[in-house]
């Protein structure tokens, strides 16, 4: 469309108006270009690289879960999740090859021992898949919105649709087996109400109103995530070979207990129940199914997801006492995330994120 052409929303589809004259607009949608000629943006590099690392970790983790699963309903979910990660990885490799960009190393068969005894029961394995897919779909939605090349947008759009389908089928199985982590009910309002008093924000030292639906749902989402993450850390602490990394896992599990108790207390003050603690779903095995590298990276990545959940909460919560609690908990999580990153670097296990050219080094 040339300068001076305006779209008239009242005209027929396929028409544009230029200085009062109507013209056929159908050819605009048929403009062709070679996507290979469009430079890839830094946002696209970020999301492609991050997706590959995450999917390779998920594929490796899920190979073990599939190998140990006996329940046919759960097996179908776990196998579908494994196949989805494998398909996504191949699609990402194709994109990297097209871009002539080095494929990240990520994780693979060297990071898993399929002969190790079962570490988690099957229900916790399916709940783990559900939890991770919820965060994966959020990341892919962001990747889609921040990408501009049509091939990369189509890639992430496909990932989103596949994850939506897997989440739906996972929820159906958990519901059918009576182990779906449902959220509680609240009394429905009888009419629309408006806020007229700044006391609605409450105080940093106590509440002046009940929690609202946004606040309750965010707290519950974080609790649901933390309950599953806690058993992951407990299991890892049982089987990890490094004593230093074991201490890190144990510290993470203790912090998870603290945060769960703090958030449960907020809900219980409103007469709302918190989620069930499911540590009993970890077996007594001490033979590791995973490499120390995979377990440490996985745990450190999970911490980042928790931080994003708290960040989402801060954008939605208006009660000052809950905001203050979140900020304190986030500070503690940042500290343990730093400890995990330090251990990855110390062991030479942190694959470097793509970065811009070092102009200071190049010009001196």
- Quote the CA–CA distance of 97 and 145 in Å, as a whole number: 23
1 part of a folded domain? no
227 part of a folded domain? yes
The strand pairing partners of 16, in sequence order, are 23
Q: pLDDT class for 305, splitting at 50, 70, 90?
A: confident
362 part of a folded domain? no
Pair 340, 294 in one domain: yes
Q: pLDDT class for 181, splitting at 50, 70, 90?
A: confident
Pair 213, 335 in one domain: yes
Total domains in the fold of the chain: 2
Pair 203, 150 in one domain: no
β-strands 15-18, 21-24: how paired? antiparallel
Pair 338, 219 in one domain: yes
Pair 206, 342 in one domain: yes
Query: Could you count the other beta carbons within 10 Å of the beta carbon of residue 317?
Result: 20
Cβ-count burial 31-51 (b if 16+ within 10 Å, e if not): eeeeeeeeebeeebbebbbbb
Pair 162, 215 in one domain: no
CA-based end-to-end distance of the chain: 47
Which pTM was predicted? 0.85
CATH number at residue 70: 1.20.1260.10
Q: Has residue 192 got a pLDDT over 90?
A: yes
- Quote the CA–CA distance of 109 and 116 in Å, as a whole number: 14
Pair 146, 221 in one domain: no
pLDDT tens digit sequence for 135-163: 899 999 999 999 999 999 999 999 999 99
Pair 152, 57 in one domain: yes
Pair 52, 130 in one domain: yes
Q: Has residue 32 got a pLDDT over 70?
A: no
pLDDT tens digit sequence for 81-124: 999 999 999 999 999 999 999 999 999 999 999 999 999 999 99
CA distances from 234 to 132, 146, 155, 250, 299 (A): 18, 36, 36, 7, 11
Q: pLDDT class for 360, splitting at 50, 70, 90?
A: confident
DSSP assignment of 195-258 equals ---GGGG-BTTB-SS---HHHHHHHHHHHHHHHHHHHHHHHHHHH-S-HHHHHHHHHHHHHHHH
Pair 146, 49 in one domain: yes
Average pLDDT over residues 252-279: 93
Q: Has residue 302 got a pLDDT over 50?
A: yes
Range of the domain at 60: 41-176
CA distances from 141 to 81, 168, 205, 340 (A): 18, 17, 37, 27
34 part of a folded domain? no
Q: Has residue 5 got a pLDDT over 50?
A: no
128 part of a folded domain? yes
Average pLDDT over residues 77-83: 96
Average pLDDT over residues 249-274: 94
In the predicted model, what is the mean pLDDT of the chain?
A: 89
17 part of a folded domain? no
Pair 169, 213 in one domain: no
Pair 132, 234 in one domain: no
Q: Which of 119, 142, 176 is the last residue of a domain?
A: 176
């Amino acid at each position: 469309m040339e300068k001076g052409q305006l779209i008239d929303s009242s005209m027929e589809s396929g028409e544009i108006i230029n200085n009062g004259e109507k013209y056929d607009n159908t050819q605009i949608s048929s403009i062709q270009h070679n996507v290979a000629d469009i430079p890839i943006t830094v946002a696209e590099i970020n999301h492609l690289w991050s997706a590959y690392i995450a999917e390779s970790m998920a594929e490796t983790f899920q190979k073990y879960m599939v190998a140990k699963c006996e329940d046919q309903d759960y097996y179908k979910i776990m196998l579908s999740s494994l196949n989805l990660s494998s398909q996504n990885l191949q699609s990402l490799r194709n994109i990297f090859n097209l871009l002539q960009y080095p494929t990240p190393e990520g994780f693979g068969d060297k990071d898993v021992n399929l002969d190790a005894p079962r570490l988690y029961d099957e229900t916790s394995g399916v709940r783990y898949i559900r939890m991770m897919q919820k965060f994966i779909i959020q990341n892919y939605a962001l990747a889609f919105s921040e990408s501009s090349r049509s091939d990369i947008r189509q890639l992430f759009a496909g990932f989103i649709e596949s994850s939506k389908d897997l989440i739906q089928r996972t929820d159906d199985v958990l519901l059918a087996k009576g182990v779906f982590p449902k959220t509680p009910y609240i009394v429905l309002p009888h009419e629309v109400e408006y806020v007229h008093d700044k006391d609605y924000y409450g105080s940093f030292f106590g509440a002046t109103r009940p929690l609202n639906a946004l606040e309750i749902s965010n707290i519950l989402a974080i609790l649901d995530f933390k309950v599953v993450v806690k058993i992951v850390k407990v299991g890892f602490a049982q089987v990890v070979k490094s004593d230093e990394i074991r201490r890190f896992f144990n510290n993470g599990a203790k912090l998870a207990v603290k945060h769960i108790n703090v958030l449960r207390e907020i809900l219980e003050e409103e007469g709302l129940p918190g989620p069930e603690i499911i540590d009993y779903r970890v077996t007594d095995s001490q033979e590791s199914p995973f490499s120390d590298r995979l377990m440490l990276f996985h745990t450190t990545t999970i911490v980042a997801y928790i931080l994003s959940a708290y960040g989402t909460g801060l954008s939605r919560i208006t009660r000052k006492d809950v905001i203050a609690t979140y900020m304190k908990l986030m500070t503690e999580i940042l500290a343990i995330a730093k400890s995990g990153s330090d251990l990855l670097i110390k062991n030479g296990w942190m694959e470097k994120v793509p970065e811009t050219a070092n102009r200071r080094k190049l010009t001196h």
